[in-house]
């Protein structure tokens, strides 16, 4: 699904990613751990193709196509979907409107919102005055409407209370076809998480630690999280499994 090969990325002339390699096969969900500022969000933003994130070297291939220099909207249309950690507010644009945009008119926002208890927000301006949990639900519903082949989730559980976490987890599980048997899944995910809470809702296949601009450790998501808890990022980075 996604293959990243020797990726070097600058933000405002500062080197952030330094030779990162990553492969996420179809139907798999991978988790990205790493300290604050280690470049996790940079990786997702670069995959999505935002202007500020300059690729200096390397290649990103998605569904067999080189997308390294493709405009963001074309990546979205190819089937990449991003849930923002802190999305902007768009005044005057209603949540129902953006759900229509995401699905390119293919779904009725009312039905989608009703299924996830979000009807009251349809008439509200996108992200305006939303709580942390509401923002995440809005982001994930947009992805459901968009129905991408691969989702990039930037800390989907941050700022979400326990009650909302269940809804958030359920939507992510749906996005990643967790209701199907593993063999029959074809959607992929790359998820940034600090707490690992989200792993209770999605059985992730593999996890990595991002440090010093590249993936420095990988393994079973739960084991890796336990190691980080026990030994800290520094030790994990040193072991270089």
Partner 1 sequence: MSEIKERAEQSRQKKAAFGPDLNLEDFSRQGGAWAYDPDYRQFSPEERSRLLTAGIELTDEDHAGTFLQADKAIVHCQTRQPGVEVLPITKALQTHAWVKDLLWGLVPVDADKYTASTELDLDNGYFIRALPGAKIEQPVESCLYLRTDRFAQHVHNLVVVEEGAQLHIITGCATHPGVVSGLHIGVSEFYVKKGGHLTFTMVHNWGKNVHVRPRTAVMVEEGGTYISNYILLRPVKSVQMYPTVTLNGPNAVARLQSILIAHSGCELDVGGRVILKAPRTRAEIIARTLAIGGTSIARGHLVGLEPHIKAHLECRGLILGNGVVYAIPELEGRVAGVDMSHEAAVGKIAAEEVEYLMARGLDEDEAVSTIVRGFLNVKVEGLPPALEQEMEQAIQESGKGL
How many C-beta atoms surround the C-beta of residue 134 within 10 A?
Answer: 19
Q: Which of residues 136-175 bind partner 1 (CB under 8 A)?
A: 142, 146
Q: Based on CB atoms, which residue is closest to partner 1, 64 or 88? A: 88
Measured at the alpha carbon of residue 133, what is the angle toward residues 131 and 135, in degrees to the nearest 5? 70
Distances in Å between the alpha carbon of 27 and those of 70, 173, 183, 197, 200? 24, 12, 8, 21, 18
Interacting stretch for partner 1, rule CB under 8 A, among 14-22, 66-74, 172-180, 195-203? 66-74
Cα–Cα distance for residue pair 111/158, rounded to 1 Å: 26
The phi and psi torsions of 98 (rounded to 5 degrees) equal -70, -30
Task: Locate the DSSP E strands across the chain.
Answer: 2-11, 14-24, 29-34, 53-62, 65-66, 80-83, 90-94, 125-126, 150-154, 188-192, 206-211, 214-219
Q: Least separation, in Å, of the C-beta of 109 and partner 1?
A: 13
What's the distance, CA 171 to chain centroid?
A: 13
The phi and psi torsions of 191 (rounded to 5 degrees) equal -125, 130
Q: Based on CB atoms, which residue is closest to partner 1, 104 or 241? A: 104
Q: How many residues bind partner 1 (CB under 8 A)?
A: 25
Q: Least separation, in Å, of the C-beta of 44 and partner 1?
A: 10
Q: Report whether 158 contacts 179 (CB < 8 A).
A: no
Q: Least separation, in Å, of the C-beta of 167 and partner 1?
A: 21
Q: Least separation, in Å, of the C-beta of 217 and partner 1?
A: 29
Interacting stretch for partner 1, rule CB under 8 A, among 24-32, 81-89, 196-204, 212-220? 81-89
Q: Examine residue 102 and tell whether it contacts partner 1 (CB under 8 A).
A: yes
Q: Examine residue 182 and tell whether it contacts partner 1 (CB under 8 A).
A: no
**Which candidate, 218, 227, 160, 232, places its Cα nearest to that of 28?**
218
- Which of 10, 72, 177, 218 touches partner 1 (CB under 8 A)? 72
Interacting stretch for partner 1, rule CB under 8 A, among 20-28, 31-39, 84-92, 109-117? 84-92
- Which of 77, 180, 182, 241 touches partner 1 (CB under 8 A)? 77
Q: Examine residue 125 and tell whether it contacts partner 1 (CB under 8 A).
A: yes
* Contact map string, positions 31 to 50, toward partner 1, x by CB under 8 A: -----------------x-x
Q: Examine residue 92 and tell whether it contacts partner 1 (CB under 8 A).
A: yes
Q: Examine residue 82 and tell whether it contacts partner 1 (CB under 8 A).
A: yes
* DSSP letter string, 165-221: HHHHHHHHHHHTTTTS-GGG---EEEEE-SS-GGGGTS--SEEEEEETTEEEEEE-H
Binding-site ranges for partner 1 (CB under 8 A): 48, 50-51, 71-73, 76-77, 81-82, 84, 87-88, 90-93, 97-98, 101-102, 104, 125, 142, 146
């Amino acid at each position: 699904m996604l293959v990243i090969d020797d990726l070097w990325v600058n933000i405002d002339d500062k080197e952030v990613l330094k030779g990162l390699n990553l492969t996420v096969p179809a139907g798999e969900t991978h988790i990205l751990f790493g300290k604050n500022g280690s470049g996790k969000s940079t990786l997702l933003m670069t995959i999505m193709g935002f202007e500020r994130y300059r690729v200096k070297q390397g290649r990103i291939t998605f569904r067999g196509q080189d997308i390294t220099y493709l405009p963001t909207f074309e990546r979205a249309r190819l089937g990449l979907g991003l849930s923002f950690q802190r999305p902007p507010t768009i005044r005057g644009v209603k949540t129902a409107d953006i759900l229509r945009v995401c699905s390119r008119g293919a779904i009725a926002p009312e039905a989608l919102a009703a299924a996830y208890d979000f009807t009251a927000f349809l008439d509200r301006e996108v992200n305006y005055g939303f709580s942390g949990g509401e923002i995440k639900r809005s982001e994930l519903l947009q992805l459901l409407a968009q129905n991408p082949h691969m989702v990039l989730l930037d800390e989907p559980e941050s700022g979400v209370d326990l009650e909302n976490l269940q809804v958030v987890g359920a939507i992510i599980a749906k996005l990643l076809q967790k209701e199907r048997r593993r063999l029959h899944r074809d959607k992929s995910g790359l998820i940034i998480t600090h707490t690992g809470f989200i792993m209770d809702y999605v059985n992730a296949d593999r996890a990595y630690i991002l440090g010093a601009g590249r993936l420095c450790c990988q393994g079973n998501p739960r084991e890796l999280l336990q190691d980080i808890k026990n030994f800290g990022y520094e030790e994990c980075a040193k072991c270089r499994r």
